[in-house]
């Protein structure tokens, strides 16, 4: 089944501030920062490094990614 990008809903991408230790604290398990980066990139997020973490810009078609909790899940 082919899908058209013209039919996708999208929104302007805004950066989500994510601290490097947030996912581990939220999920209650250790996740190395390099693994967090790899997982976010696999979701087609753009990562902008900052002190203590990243500014994460989700792709415009990922309407489900808008807050740090979404990224951790």
pLDDT in tens, the chain (73 residues): 555 555 556 666 689 999 999 999 999 999 999 999 999 999 999 999 999 999 999 999 999 999 999 999 9
pLDDT, residue 3, reads 54
Which H/E stretch holds residue 48? strand 46-50
Rg (CA), the chain: 13
pLDDT, residue 6, reads 53
pLDDT, residue 41, reads 97
Residues in CB range of 3: below 8 A, 6 or more apart? none
pLDDT, residue 60, reads 94
Asked whether 54 and 72 are in contact (CB, 8 A), the reply is no
pLDDT, residue 13, reads 67
Strand pairing partners for 1?
A: none
């Amino acid at each position: 089944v082919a899908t058209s990008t013209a039919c996708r809903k999208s929104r302007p991408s805004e950066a989500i501030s994510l601290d490097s230790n947030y996912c581990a604290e939220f999920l209650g398990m250790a996740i190395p920062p390099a693994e967090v980066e790899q997982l976010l990139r696999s979701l087609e997020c753009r990562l902008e490094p900052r002190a203590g973490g990243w500014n994460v810009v989700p792709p415009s078609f990922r309407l489900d990614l808008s807050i740090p909790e979404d990224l951790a899940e």
